[in-house]
Structure 1
Amino acid sequence: MTALLFGILTIALVGPIPQALAHASWPLYAPRAAMTLWQAVALAAVLSAFSTGLAIAANLLSPGVNGAPTTNPFDEVERLGWFLWTVYVIVFALTLLVGAKLIYSIVRVGVRTRARRNQHRMLIDLVDRVDRHRERGRDIRVLDVPAPLAYCLPGLRGSRVVLSEGVLNRLTDDELSAVIEHERAHLRARHDLVLEAFIALHEAFPRFVRSRSALGAVELLAEALADDQAAHATAPATVGRALVACADATAPRGTMAVGGPTTLVRVRRLCDVRPLPLVSTTAYLLAVAILVVPTLAVAIPWLTELRRLVAHM
């Protein structure tokens, strides 16, 4: 029964729940709380998947009729029945597969992204116009290209905010400050690490259960959080004008651009700021509950069993 409950919870946390959360409107008006809830849902999905495997392993390796562990697999087949035993083995194998694929995805996404960023960082440092806007900070890089470019490049060796002449020619000083603050907000909050984790999680689970809209919703929340920081440093109207001016700005893979297809939604949000303290508090409480309940459900039975074994030693 425990394995079944954890299995259902896992499927819900990687499919219907993210789908419903991605289509809700309130996260845009409580982005920090929504981002916390998204991360809790993702972590709880991983915990529930492994909890399913642990519960199945406990059933397959449970003591025999005399209290001793069974060594003959046919005894377990006789105890559980062929159908239930087969289901347990298949689900346990899928759990191991998801775990292995998650580790592989985390390593692959991390290595691939950092290699791409390191190469890109060396390139922009070589072609940087050092005579432009260096007074705004040592992290600013200006590229002498007419195409609109405005993005940040995270990295342990030094982050970069990359702008092009095409964007500089479009923006006023206040709008340029808003764009720079937007990108620096991404760098300070390390939104790149959050997005990498969701990309790895998205690739790890099978396609028929994972939600396609989860990653896009998290990306939008990251942009909303950066917009709020820029609006706090300048003004919402200034950020809105800068977003419109940079709506067609592009960025290489592995970076975060200020523009993009979500510009219209973000501008509308800046024009309709609606603080939702009750919704934020509820989201934080849900995030705690989603993490605590599966953890306790796993920990308490295992601690009880460990206490029983210690008591009989």
Structure 2
Amino acid sequence: MITAMALGGYAALVGTAMPPLLSRARWTHRAPVLAVLAWQGLMVTFIVATALTVYHLALTEQHVHEGFLGLLSVCGLAADAPVTESAPTPRDALALSAPAVIVLLPLGWFVLCTWRARRARQRHLDMLALIGEPAPGYDATVVDHGAPAVYCLPGRRRRVVITRGALDVLSDAQMRAVLEHERAHIESRHHLLHLLVDAFSRAFPGLPLARHAKEQITLLVEMIADDRVLRSHSRDALATAMCEVAAGQTPQGTLGAAGPGALIRLRRVLTPQPRPHRVTWLGVVAASTAAPLLPLLVACGP
């Protein structure tokens, strides 16, 4: 029971107390890649800690005293695990199904979200085949729409789309900056991050970690793409392009150059901040790696 309380407290800490603190941290916008890693570490930690809490609460007293090795023994995964006198009972199977559901629920939502996003992209690609035109010199597809917008369709049939309104208002330098932004999304497979955090938020609705992670990761991937653009384009070109396409709407299943938090990103592009110190990088990476392992170490105890 003490182990279950410790694991439950740890899951509650990760799921409710840590997200607001990480959301307000000053270093996250200066190192968006590192911040995404930290959010993913919290999500994995919550799933592991919650599953192990349920396991310790659900299994019989005998298996609880055998610790995490008892779980592996019941599953037939540990050759050196303590051997029980009786075979696994239906109660054992029911108890094992509860933590399995916690692990499989976000995976199931990920599969469903991926399927839905793929269907939405396919519908849009079918529409582009009818109304889209090639954009000479930009390796993109143009659609006849007055509102300025630039977005990409990720996946195997990747495509960058420009509206006629964007061609009218963006200069060549601005256009190439936003196109680089979209290609950064495609090449880095940022749509998978969106799908992962969307699946987590659907699996655990109402959880502060799910809400904060979805908000922050959605913003952070845009910052990562902005940083990619700034390697080869000027800050003024990206900033002015962001202002021009800020009001553009993007279809479901796509990633747009305007993106969320446009004002925050604009301020970040125009007023660059120094990168976090190497100690901060090492500390966040170490914490993100160790956090999911800590509940396993607790559960392995006798």
Distance 1:35 1:153 in 2: 22
More displaced 10-residue stretch of structure 1: 4-13 or 186-195: 4-13
Mark the CA change 1:23 to 1:38 in structure 2 (over 3 Å): closer, same or farther. Answer: same
- One-letter amino acid of the counterpart of residue 154, structure 2: P
The root-mean-square deviation of aligned C-alpha atoms, in Å, is 3.0
Mark the CA change 1:63 to 1:206 in structure 2 (over 3 Å): closer, same or farther. Answer: closer
Q: TM-score, normalised by structure 1?
A: 0.79
Distance 1:69 1:289 in 2: 40
Mark the CA change 1:299 to 1:257 in structure 2 (over 3 Å): closer, same or farther. Answer: same
Q: Do residues 126 (structure 1) and 124 (structure 2) align?
A: no
More displaced 10-residue stretch of structure 1: 45-54 or 179-188: 45-54
How far the C-alpha of 1:55 sits from its partner, in A, is 3.4
Please, which runs of 5 or more residues in structure 2 have no aligned partner? 66-82
- One-letter amino acid of the counterpart of residue 27, structure 2: W
Match of 1:153 in 2: 153
Distance 2:248 2:61 in 1: 56
For 1:29, what is the secondary structure of its paired residue? coil
- Say which one has the larger Rg: 1
Match of 2:194 in 1: 195
Asked if structure 2 preserves the Cα contact closer than 8 Å seen for 1:181 and 1:230, the reply is yes
Distance 2:209 2:35 in 1: 19
Asked if structure 2 preserves the Cα contact closer than 8 Å seen for 1:31 and 1:225, the reply is yes
Match of 2:144 in 1: 144
Please, which runs of 5 or more residues in structure 1 have no aligned partner? 74-88, 306-313
- One-letter amino acid of the counterpart of residue 112, structure 1: R
Distance 1:163 1:224 in 2: 21
Asked if structure 1 preserves the Cα contact closer than 8 Å seen for 2:146 and 2:165, the reply is yes
Distance 1:143 1:267 in 2: 26
- One-letter amino acid of the counterpart of residue 215, structure 1: K
Q: Whose relative contact order is higher, 1 or 2, with alpha carbons under 8 Å and at least 6 apart? A: 2
Asked if structure 2 preserves the Cα contact closer than 8 Å seen for 1:10 and 1:45, the reply is yes
Offset from partner CA, 1:103-151 (integer Å, 9 cap, x none)? 3311211111111111212211322112x32x332xx111112122211
Match of 1:27 in 2: 28
Distance 1:59 1:287 in 2: 37
Q: Do residues 276 (structure 1) and 272 (structure 2) align?
A: no
Q: TM-score, normalised by structure 2?
A: 0.82
How far the C-alpha of 1:205 sits from its partner, in A, is 1.4
Distance 1:173 1:119 in 2: 30
Mark the CA change 1:37 to 1:54 in structure 2 (over 3 Å): closer, same or farther. Answer: same
Distance 1:216 1:166 in 2: 29
- One-letter amino acid of the counterpart of residue 53, structure 1: V
Asked if structure 2 preserves the Cα contact closer than 8 Å seen for 1:153 and 1:159, the reply is yes
Distance 2:13 2:281 in 1: 17
Match of 2:7 in 1: 6
Mark the CA change 1:22 to 1:125 in structure 2 (over 3 Å): closer, same or farther. Answer: farther
The number of residues matched between the two structures is 281
Distance 2:19 2:208 in 1: 11
